């Protein structure tokens, strides 16, 4: 499979997504905190919204791959030892005593379902008794799963990250998401239709957590010579330095600089792409108060790692200054939520800064971020509303007309998806973009 990402806005050619499924149905209010959710989602509406997003990408010319299909393909193609290693690693991580050997006999389809949707204790007939199972049944809200579901897996940006011609394997900050990186990298490595080159994939689980926390929502590929990474709640300074020194600089001769944006460790801004995404040449969408400063407070600081040199702070420089150094002095920021501080805060929370580009000047955003869409209009973006209420043929015409405009923001209802705390960029893992002129 051809892969290659050297910008955030090149025409999208190939993208990996995970269509939400039984794993979000199996999550109740009792698991919200552990699963990193603020609320349970309505499954039918969530799937319909996700389908609209993938339809826009398909109509824009991208090949949309589904993770579940790749995983089944990979489980069929991988050797018995490789499949065994994955299942044992997952069950060991989840404390699923004696379950791995039971799951080994399952078909590839059933095993893929179990790895994503979770495995309930009631699915394990004939399994010898264990204290863990007895303890789970004694909980006030019975723990029904030996292997819990992965409701966050739809946020495909985080577990693995395409940087140039390789896929970097992430290290998830939360135990609830740890196995996502293992499942996604297994699918990409072993599915015959994929077999993409991986890097930074060694098992470093024995190291302290600070040395192994990296999620894709923090990574922006600016150009063949520069990458920007958020040093955030989910990605640590130690792991950024490891990634740069152990993988990015050695593997990519054209790469010269890695910028680290020093962010507060807060759930409301868990990743860099919750406050900054690129939407066109020299144009970014972002949360202005943090990026440029507000009320006498400076914007977020930036540090720089260069090939063969120790990291250094960029004194007095903001993220926008770093972007202008790399992409030109005319690089500008469109404020998420517009100019009103109230709407800036509200729409940052509802993923108003989390846009994904299908090409230069053509982006996908939730329709609820009305003040952000108005701010985009001042920069020549026309809103193209896509809805499930439109007949399929009409949607195709509407999307085609939007793609013919110089700049367009494709908006769709994300009432359920946004409640899960992720926008269009979070939900997509681009594998290939055409090069920019």
Which residues participate in catalysis according to the annotation? 426
Q: What is the C-alpha separation between 150 and 136, in angstroms, rounded?
A: 19
Contacts 24+ apart (CB under 8 A), 110-113: 111/75, 111/83, 111/87, 112/68, 112/71, 112/72, 112/75, 113/22
Q: Kindly give, in sequence order, each residue whose CB lies less than 8 Å from that of residue 178, ignoring residues fewer than 6 positions away.
A: 93, 172
Nearest C-alpha neighbor of 7 from the set 291, 359, 274, 380: 359
| 8 Å CB contact between 383 and 427 | no
Q: Kindly give, in sequence order, each residue whose CB lies less than 8 Å from that of residue 183, ignoring residues fewer than 6 positions away.
A: 67, 71, 86, 90, 115, 116, 150, 153, 159
Dihedral angle of Cα 91, 96, 98, 101, to the nearest 10 degrees:
-30
What the block records as the tokens of 180 is 């996502």
Q: What is the C-alpha separation between 209 and 24, in angstroms, rounded?
A: 27
Contacts 24+ apart (CB under 8 A), 262-269: 262/231, 262/300, 262/301, 262/302, 262/303, 263/230, 263/231, 263/232, 263/233, 263/290, 263/300, 264/233, 265/232, 265/233, 266/233, 267/233, 267/421, 268/348, 268/349, 269/232, 269/233, 269/348
Nearest C-alpha neighbor of 56 from the set 336, 434, 427, 422: 427
What the block records as the tokens of 85 is 């290693």
Q: What is the C-alpha separation between 327 and 283, in angstroms, rounded?
A: 10
332 - beta bridge partners?
A: 283
């Amino acid at each position: 499979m051809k892969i290659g990402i050297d910008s955030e806005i090149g025409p999208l050619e190939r993208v990996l997504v995970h269509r939400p499924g039984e794993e979000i149905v199996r999550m109740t209010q009792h698991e919200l905190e552990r699963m990193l959710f603020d609320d349970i989602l309505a499954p039918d509406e969530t799937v319909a919204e996700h389908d609209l997003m993938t339809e826009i990408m398909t109509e824009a010319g991208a090949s949309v791959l589904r993770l579940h299909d790749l995983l089944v393909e990979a489980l069929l193609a991988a050797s018995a030892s490789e499949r065994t290693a994955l299942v044992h690693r997952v069950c060991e991580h989840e404390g699923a005593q004696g379950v791995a050997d039971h799951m080994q006999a399952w078909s590839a389809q059933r095993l893929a379902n179990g790895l994503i949707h979770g495995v309930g204790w009631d699915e394990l007939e004939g399994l010898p008794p264990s204290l863990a199972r007895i303890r789970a049944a004694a909980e006030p809200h019975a723990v029904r799963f030996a292997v819990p579901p992965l409701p966050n897996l739809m946020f495909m940006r985080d577990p693995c990250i395409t940087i140039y011609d390789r896929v970097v394997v992430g290290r998830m900050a939360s135990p609830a998401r740890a196995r996502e990186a293992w499942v996604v990298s297994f699918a990409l490595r072993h599915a015959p239709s994929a077999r993409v080159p991986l890097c930074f994939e060694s098992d470093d689980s024995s190291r302290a957590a600070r040395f192994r926390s990296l999620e894709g929502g923090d990574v922006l590929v600016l150009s063949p010579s520069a990458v920007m990474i958020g040093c955030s709640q989910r990605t640590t300074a130690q792991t950024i330095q490891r990634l740069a020194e152990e993988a990015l600089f050695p593997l990519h001769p054209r790469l010269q600089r890695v910028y680290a944006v020093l962010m507060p460790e807060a759930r409301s801004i868990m990743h860099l792409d919750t406050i900054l995404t690129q939407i066109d040449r020299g144009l970014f969408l972002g949360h202005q108060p943090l990026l440029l400063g507000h009320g006498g407070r400076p914007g977020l600081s930036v540090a720089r790692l260069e090939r063969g040199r120790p990291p250094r702070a960029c004194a007095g420089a903001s993220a926008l200054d770093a972007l202008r150094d790399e992409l030109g002095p005319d690089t500008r920021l469109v404020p998420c939520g517009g100019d009103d501080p109230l709407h800036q805060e509200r729409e940052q929370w509802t993923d108003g800064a989390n846009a994904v580009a299908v090409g230069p000047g053509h982006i996908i955003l939730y329709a609820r971020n009305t003040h952000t869409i108005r701010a985009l209009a001042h920069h020549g973006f026309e809103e193209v509303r896509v809805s499930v209420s439109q007949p399929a043929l009409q949607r195709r015409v509407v999307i085609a007309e939007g793609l013919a405009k110089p700049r367009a923001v494709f908006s769709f209802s994300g009432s359920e998806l946004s409640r899960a705390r992720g926008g269009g960029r979070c939900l997509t893992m681009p594998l290939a973009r055409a090069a920019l002129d």
